[in-house]
Amino acid sequence: MSINYELYKVFYWAAKTGSLSQAAKALYLTQPSVSHAIKQLEDSFGITLFHRNAKGVVLTQEGAVLYSYIEQSQILITLAEERMAALKNLESGELRVGGSESLFKHYLLPFIENFHEQYPDVRLQLNHGTTPEIIAFLKEGRIDLGVVRMPIVDAQLDVKESFQLRECFVAGERYAELKHEILPLEKLQQYPVILFSRNSRVRVGITELFESYGYHLKPDIEVGSVDLLIEFARRGLGISYVTREFVTKELEEGSLFEIQLDVKLPPSRVGIMTMQNLPLSSAANKFIELLLEKDLRN
């Protein structure tokens, strides 16, 4: 049996108020419309649901049984509506973001702090990993969005360019003689070079740049974290290739200095990655908005 939900709604308010006129007022209907709706419901069941009296309406025994079920459904519907409103207004819900550990620490952290201050009731879940891992997380539904280095070529993904990062070679005091020298790529390779792991976008980019000039860049040390790139360079273990924005403090305090090369290093592009044609939560949309707002201001 398929009965229009609106008929149950009219029945609920008539039973709740004990008055057809009050039910009509609550539902913004006319009283004849309410009476007609109740008659339709009674005809559908073949059961009388209300007794009419001078004060209004009273549930029959059968009507009381139906009301016990309808009341529960109305409570659940109300709760669902309240929940949807809370999600829309970011009074609850969850934001799941994927990215590299270095991007979280050196770039995304202020945005995450800002979002958390504005919407403290939204739970945060941060997943870090390599770009292929973040893509997998997104496709598996484990995150809402990923912040990764570009280029990303995947028909299933929608990628919006968000910001650019500058890459550079840095060294500590052990190599102070290079502070005021413009170093050719060929000469750079005479020094111990420290690079990030070979499956990273940054590593691929600098390797391709050297190859475009006819050189093969072979690192003396490979590491799996930006913090180690920075620390090894500070300790004089070699010249590290890092994102300049990630070593601002060290450059300002003088524990590291930037190696000047005879070629221009291209910037890295970072994108916000989501699933193609998949609707985003209000929390995810708001976080993306915060990221893009910053880029527009810059």
Quick: pLDDT tens for 176-187: 999 999 999 999
Task: Write down the pLDDT at residue 215.
Answer: 93
Indicate if the pLDDT at residue 216 is higher than 80: yes
Could you name the CATH architecture of 94-160+273-297? Answer: 3-Layer(aba) Sandwich (3.40)
pLDDT above 60: residue 201: yes
Q: Do domains 5-88 and 167-266 have the same CATH topology?
A: no
* 248, pLDDT greater than 80: yes
Structural domain spans, the chain: 5-88, 94-160+273-297, 167-266
The listed CATH number (3.90.1150.10, 1.10.3080.10, 2.30.31.70, 1.10.10.10) that belongs to domain 5-88? 1.10.10.10
Mean pLDDT of the chain: 90
pLDDT tops 50 at residue 296: no
- Identify the band that residue 77 occupies on the pLDDT scale cut at 50, 70 and 90: confident
Least confident range of 22-31, 195-204, 214-223: 195-204
What is the C-alpha radius of gyration for the chain, rounded to an integer number of angstroms?
32
Tens digits of per-residue pLDDT, 55-70? 899 999 999 999 999 9
* CATH number assigned to the domain covering 167-266: 3.40.190.10
pLDDT confidence tier of residue 197, bands split at 50, 70 and 90 = confident
